[in-house]
């Protein structure tokens, strides 16, 4: 059988969709084809069998659901979970148990069998196989007793702004959606809404809804839930790669190469002693808690103004993920989605900045379109522009390019920006309202 067909088959198995794509490919290499004639025993009572069976073609029949066949034995997991047995113990049990009933082929039957000695491949400490800090922030724990439900947390020391960072919600929700589709399909667009502010100290439950699985496309929605309430929702569309028309009319702006620019952290340190900045501003920067971002950023323009100075309605900077990432394209798109919200909305304030200018800003919605493959661990240029603001809502759009000038991503966001007055100085903003 063709290897790619086996990979595609396994990509439709929910149990395996949670694995890193490299692990899925490895499982595809380790399985063994087993063929059975009608009436032939697949597994006999009292025998351990050959491992985990995935039905490629045909049907089987058995008396007692105490061993694993996919896709007919969902009741096996229910049996274990009703008795609160962790999924890891299910896999261990498959390695040394004997079956209490015969399994017989009802017609010609073909199975893909993962031998007992390789069942550990179905367990993974990481769903991505990448290094910190990205893996820590985008890591989700699959809920072993509930399909398509994941749990995420806000780790101490991760970016936040008094509430769960919007990029974290975007990135983690997209991870959950990506782990429910065939890995040959990757996200090409998503649209997200921020509904309520997220609590930093409460785990976030991500519930995936499988709206459609087609030959070329798949559609998912994801609800992020805290304290029983939906705080964020995302709808994403996934597509399998295919040949097609290709053109690009948007040119990358001319900017300095990233290697010639200073990291954001170094710029911050220089500001502390730069006499061009007011002493009050430098003192504020020095006393404000600084949380290192998991994304390296290098600004293209030498910024010598403060947040109290009117600025152009555009901004450009290079960014890339810190740490090592695998070649999984789904991972890279989740990382780019996470990073896209770090500075995006702030640009809508640039034309309005002045001395004493203060606002409370929150993101309302966020949409992205992925045009071409992207490497989040290589430099990406983010070109941001705000065409308008009105009715306390700022609108911002952006393009992302690789160093070759190829357009990778287009994105837009709208956010609420309310000016702060003396009377409202100590009042809390109502989330999204």
Q: Give the active site residues.
A: 341, 363, 413
Contacts 24+ apart (CB under 8 A), 406-410: 406/248, 406/372, 407/248, 407/250, 407/252, 407/371, 407/372, 408/336, 408/370, 408/371, 408/372, 408/373, 408/374, 408/380, 409/336, 409/340, 409/368, 409/369, 409/370, 409/371, 409/374, 410/368, 410/369, 410/371
Count of helices and strands (H, E) across the chain: 10, 19
The CA distance from 47 to 325, in Å, is 42
Helix ranges (DSSP H) in 247-328: 264-271, 279-287
Find tokens 């045909």 and name the residue. Answer: 58
401's enclosing H/E stretch is strand 393-401
Please name every residue paired with 165 in a beta bridge, in sequence order, or none if there are none: none
SS3 114: strand
Please name every residue paired with 385 in a beta bridge, in sequence order, or none if there are none: 314, 397
Task: List the beta strands (DSSP E) in 214-264.
Answer: 217-226, 229-240
- Do 320 and 377 touch, CB atoms closer than 8 A? yes
Please name every residue paired with 205 in a beta bridge, in sequence order, or none if there are none: 151, 225
The CA distance from 377 to 84, in Å, is 40
The CA distance from 7 to 56, in Å, is 12
The CA distance from 369 to 352, in Å, is 29
Q: Are strands 217-226 and 229-240 parallel, antiparallel or unpaired?
A: antiparallel
Q: 343: phi > 0 → left, psi -120 to 50 → alpha, else beta; which?
A: alpha
Sequential DSSP letters for 131-157? -TTHHHHH--EE-TTSTTEEEE---TT
Contact partners, residue 357, CB within 8 Å, separation at least 6 = 307, 308, 349, 419
Find tokens 């911002």 and name the residue. Answer: 396
């Amino acid at each position: 059988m063709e290897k790619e067909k086996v990979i595609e088959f396994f990509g439709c198995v929910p149990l395996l969709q949670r694995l890193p794509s490299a692990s899925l490919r490895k499982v595809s290499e380790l399985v063994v084809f087993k063929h059975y004639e009608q009436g032939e025993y697949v597994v006999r009572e009292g025998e351990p069998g050959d491992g985990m069976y995935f039905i490629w073609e045909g049907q089987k029949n058995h008396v007692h659901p105490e061993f694993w066949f996919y896709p007919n034995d969902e009741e096996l997991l229910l049996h274990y979970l009703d008795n609160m047995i962790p999924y890891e113990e299910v896999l261990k049990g498959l390695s040394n148990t004997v079956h209490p009933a015969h399994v017989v082929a009802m017609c010609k039957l073909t199975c893909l069998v993962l031998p007992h000695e390789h069942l550990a491949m179905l367990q993974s400490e990481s769903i991505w196989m990448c290094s910190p800090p990205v893996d820590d922030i985008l890591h989700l724990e699959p809920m072993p007793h509930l399909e398509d439900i994941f749990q995420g947390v806000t780790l101490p020391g991760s970016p936040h702004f008094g509430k769960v960072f919007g990029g974290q919600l975007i990135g983690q929700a997209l991870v959950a959606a990506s782990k429910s589709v065939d890995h040959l399909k990757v996200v090409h667009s998503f649209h997200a809404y921020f509904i309520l502010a997220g609590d930093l100290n409460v785990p976030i439950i991500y519930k995936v809804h499988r709206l459609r699985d087609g030959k070329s496309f798949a559609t998912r929605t994801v609800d992020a839930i805290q304290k029983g309430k939906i705080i964020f929702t995302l709808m994403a569309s996934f597509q399998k790669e295919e040949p097609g028309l290709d053109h690009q009319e948007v040119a990358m702006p001319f900017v300095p190469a990233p290697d010639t620019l200073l990291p954001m952290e170094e710029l911050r340190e220089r500001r502390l002693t730069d006499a061009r900045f007011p002493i009050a501003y430098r003192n504020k920067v020095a006393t404000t808690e600084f949380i290192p971002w998991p994304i390296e950023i290098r600004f293209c323009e030498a910024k010598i103004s403060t947040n109290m100075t009117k600025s152009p309605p555009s901004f450009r900077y290079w960014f890339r993920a810190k740490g090592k990432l695998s070649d999984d394209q789904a991972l890279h798109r989740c990382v780019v989605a996470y990073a896209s919200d770090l500075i995006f909305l702030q640009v809508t304030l640039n034309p309005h900045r002045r001395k004493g200018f203060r606002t409370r800003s929150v993101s309302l919605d966020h949409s992205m379109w992925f045009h071409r493959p992207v490497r989040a661990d290589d430099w990406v240029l983010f070109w941001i522009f705000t065409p308008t603001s009105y009715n306390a809502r700022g609108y911002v759009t952006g393009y992302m390019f690789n160093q070759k000038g190829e357009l990778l991503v287009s994105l837009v966001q709208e956010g609420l920006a309310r000016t702060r007055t003396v009377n409202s100085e100590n009042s809390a903003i109502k989330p999204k309202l």
